[in-house]
Structure 1
Amino acid sequence: MFMGEYRHTVDEKGRMIIPAKFREELGASFVVTRGLDRCLFVYPYDEWKQLESKLKSLPFTKKDARAFTRFFFSGATECDLDKQGRVNISSPLREYAHLEKDCVVIGVSNRVEIWSKTIWEEYFAESEDSFGEIAENLVDFDIDL
């Protein structure tokens, strides 16, 4: 399970250090793709294969299903860590997530998310005030916090 929040930077070549606590669980090869809310999603390869299987089962006759799978898979890139524990994030993915220098890497259960520091701080500030309301809405999913 991935959890925690870490501050890192992206260098001029698009390389970013993956937190040491995440490296082993991500494995030798993992997938980085466009996420929701202008962040990047990072999946260990086995999680990616499970997600791919679920998305393949969506009905291709539904416009939203086609749009989401195009968005999600067209940005996906298989990545490896270098000897310093860095991942090279492609230019299109950096542009999508507005990753220029300072970024935040968070663990979210089965995936890692990479955020621009500015976008993360804005998102967190907006969500922080409604955290209680969001938690109340999760009652419908049988989650007791």
Structure 2
Amino acid sequence: MFMGEYQHNIDAKGRIIVPSKFRDELGENFVVTRGLDKCLFAYPIDEWKILEDKLKKLPLTKKDARAFTRFFFSGAVECEVDKQGRINIPQPLRKYAALDKECAVIGVSNRVEFWANENWDDYFSDSEDSFAEIAENLMDFDI
């Protein structure tokens, strides 16, 4: 399980350090793709395969299903951790998530998320104000 928040810079070549606690769980190779809310999602290969299987079951006849799978898979890349514990994030993904300097790397259960610090701070502030309401809306899911 991934949890915690870390601050790292992304360099001009698109390399960012993956926190050592996350590297152990992600493995040497893992998948990074466009996430929701203008961040990137990173999945260990086994989690990616589970998600891939679920997405394959979506009906091809549904426009939203086609759109989501295109969005999700077209941005996906397999990343390899280098000897310094970094990965290289391709330019299209960096552009999507506005990753250009200071970044937040957060653990979210079965995935890791990469955020531009400013976007993360804004998202967190907005969510923090409505956290009680969000929790109340999720009560139907036995949380």
TM-score range normalised by the length of the shorter chain: over 0.9
Question: What does 1:89-128 correspond to in 2, within 5 Å?
Answer: 89-128=89-128
Deviations 1:9-30 (A, max 9, x none): 0001000000011001001110
| Count of aligned pairs between the two proteins | 143
TM-score by length of 1: 0.98
Runs of 4+, deviation exceeding 3 Å: none
Residue number in structure 2 paired with 1:16: 16
Residue number in structure 1 paired with 2:80: 80
Aligned pair 1:142/2:108, yes or no?
no
Residue number in structure 2 paired with 1:28: 28
Deviations 1:115-140 (A, max 9, x none): 00000000011110000000111111
Aligned pair 1:61/2:61, yes or no?
yes
Q: Distance in 2 between matches of 1:130 and 1:97?
A: 23
* Structure 1 spans left out of the alignment, 5+ residues: none
Deviations 1:66-107 (A, max 9, x none): 000000000000010000000000000000000000000000
Q: Structure 1 vs Structure 2: percent identity of aligned residues? A: 73
